[in-house]
Amino acid sequence: MIEYNVNGVLHTQLFDLKKDKWEKTDLADNPVFSKTKESLRSLLIKEMKDTHDNLDITKPDWGRVKGMKTNGGE
């Protein structure tokens, strides 16, 4: 699962890498995979907390405070 934030809007991508190694079929919006996506998001949030990641993907703009640099340095 890939999650990214563009201008405060969360985007999610989900691929079955065993069947789709080139990541051509995004399963994120497929209701069959909603529980998988939910589970992976929970694991990601836990991992971020465990590794002291200062972003919070549950908040708009991931909880960045004014003046915090983004990955691109903006």
Q: Report pLDDT for 26.
A: 97
pLDDT at residue number 71: 61
pLDDT band at 70 (very low <50, low <70, confident <90, very high): low
The per-residue pLDDT of the chain, averaged, comes to 87
Judge whether 41 and 56 are in contact, CB under 8 Å: no
pTM of the model: 0.74
Residue whose structure tokens are 């789709």? 20
The single-letter code of the amino acid at 6 is V
Contact 56, 44 (CB under 8 A): no
The answer, yes or no, to whether residue 73 has pLDDT greater than 60, is: no
- Which tens digit of pLDDT belongs to each residue from 12-32? 999 999 999 999 999 999 999
Beta bridge partners of 10: 5
Strands (E), 1-74: 2-6, 9-13
